[in-house]
Amino acid sequence: MTVIAIVGTGLIGTSLALAINDSDLEVDVVGTDYDSSARSGAQKTGAFKKVEARLANAVRGADVVVFATPVMVMREMMEATAGDFQDGCVVTDVGSSKRLVLQWAEEVLPKTVSFVGGHPMAGKEKSGPQNADGAIFKDKAYCIVPSATAERSAVSSITTLAESIGAKPFFIGVDEHDSFVAAASHLPFMMSVALMGTTSKSPNWDDIGQLASSGFGDLSRLASGDPIMHRDICVSNPEPIVAWMDAYIRELYDLRNMLANENGPDPETVHQVFVDAIDARARWQAGIFTQMPDRVSPQIPSFAENMSEMFIGRRGMDAQKKILDGLKGDRAKKD
């Protein structure tokens, strides 16, 4: 039986375990967490075959190890487990930034394992195993960022895992990932935090707060997110976040200038701004992602690496066969 060890039994780690249990994968899922309350909460969900108190006990003998911890402790976790991986183990993560994680994997992990970066574009503003939901991955993009030395079969294993929990594998380079996710995920929670800061610091907040309703709640929702997760995202991915914040500030300042026209706002211009926004959002919701005109974007590094080159490993694929066969589960029988 293939064994998947999940290091970190918070919202995403436990949700992943629940999703795996609901899939057709023939695997046992083991969890571990340094926080005893997180371990206890994860055990109550029934998502794990067992939850280990000791990190080494969870990792030792596992075929796939998933780091579902805050980004800035991943290096420490990799160092702590470096001697416990079995040869041929596939190591992955679910972190929201990738440059540092892949760098640490290259520096710390033994050469007998394959590291494949992962990032499911799913989550909630509420944290902890008690809020876990195996359905949060359904139809969501699952970013896959292989290390330069990852075996092709290891990439296939993580791709199969993503597909089995209902997600959509999305292959992407590390620089593109960190920039694009900064735009689609990190910028929104910074906007939410800024909105709460702007309004709650007003001397009139006691009255404003009573007037704030669903629109304010929708836009400020992400400010309720896990502060440790948000902190680690900002610390590990500052440059792309700043670039997108600058672009947003420019856009907001353009709107500000439109309203501050000395002759008053031009109704047609103001109306067209909202028409454009409605059109852009409708196209996005319909899965149409062509660029809107007259929009300024930060410079994004191009994804020059050919994916086939990223999949070339230094060892044969035999060591990964057991893992891939296990992850395919009933699918192989159905085919």
Model confidence at 4: pLDDT above 90: yes
Q: What average pLDDT does range 139-160 have in this prediction?
A: 96
93 part of a folded domain: yes
| Whole-number Å distance between alpha carbons of 67 and 156 | 18
- Give the chain's length: 335
Going by pLDDT thresholds of 50, 70 and 90, the confidence category of residue 258 is: very high
Cβ atoms within 10 Å of 266's Cβ, excluding its own:
12
| Whole-number Å distance between alpha carbons of 141 and 121 | 6
- Together in a domain, 155 and 189: no
122 part of a folded domain: yes
Cβ atoms within 10 Å of 229's Cβ, excluding its own:
21
pLDDT at 291 (0 to 100): 73
pLDDT at 50 (0 to 100): 96
- Together in a domain, 116 and 189: no
Whichever domain contains 65, its CATH number is: 3.40.50.720
* pLDDT tens track for 174-194: 999 999 999 999 999 999 999
Going by pLDDT thresholds of 50, 70 and 90, the confidence category of residue 110 is: very high
pLDDT at 125 (0 to 100): 83
Q: What average pLDDT does range 87-113 have in this prediction?
A: 97
298 part of a folded domain: no
330 part of a folded domain: yes
Q: Which two tokens stand for residue 147?
A: 């290390």
292 part of a folded domain: no
- Together in a domain, 163 and 40: yes
Look up the pTM and report it: 0.84
Whichever domain contains 273, its CATH number is: 1.10.3660.10
- Together in a domain, 127 and 204: no
| Range of the structural domain that residue 213 is part of | 177-285
The rounded percent of the chain whose pLDDT value lies above 90 is 84
- Together in a domain, 197 and 329: no
* pLDDT tens track for 295-334: 444 444 443 333 333 333 333 344 444 555 556 554 555 4
pLDDT at 52 (0 to 100): 97
Q: Which two tokens stand for residue 121?
A: 């574009």
Cα angle 220, 224, 228; round to 5: 135
36-45 helix and 11-21 helix, angle to the nearest 10 degrees: 20
- Together in a domain, 99 and 212: no
pLDDT at 309 (0 to 100): 38
- Together in a domain, 158 and 239: no
Average pLDDT, whole number, for the chain? Answer: 89
pLDDT at 146 (0 to 100): 96
Of 174, 288, 330, which is closest to residue 239 (Cα–Cα)?
174
* pLDDT tens track for 67-86: 999 999 999 999 999 999 99
pLDDT at 294 (0 to 100): 57
In which element (H, E) is residue 334 found?
helix 330-334
pLDDT at 1 (0 to 100): 84
pLDDT at 20 (0 to 100): 97
146 part of a folded domain: yes
- Together in a domain, 14 and 136: yes
293 part of a folded domain: no
- Together in a domain, 168 and 30: yes
- Together in a domain, 277 and 158: no
Into how many domains does the chain fold?
A: 2
- Together in a domain, 59 and 153: yes
- Together in a domain, 156 and 227: no
267 part of a folded domain: yes
Going by pLDDT thresholds of 50, 70 and 90, the confidence category of residue 36 is: very high
The rounded percent of the chain whose pLDDT value lies above 70 is 87
Cβ atoms within 10 Å of 10's Cβ, excluding its own:
25
pLDDT at 94 (0 to 100): 97
Among the ranges given (43-52, 116-125, 163-172, 325-334), the one the predictor scored with the smallest mean pLDDT:
325-334
Q: What average pLDDT does range 87-104 have in this prediction?
A: 97
Going by pLDDT thresholds of 50, 70 and 90, the confidence category of residue 104 is: very high
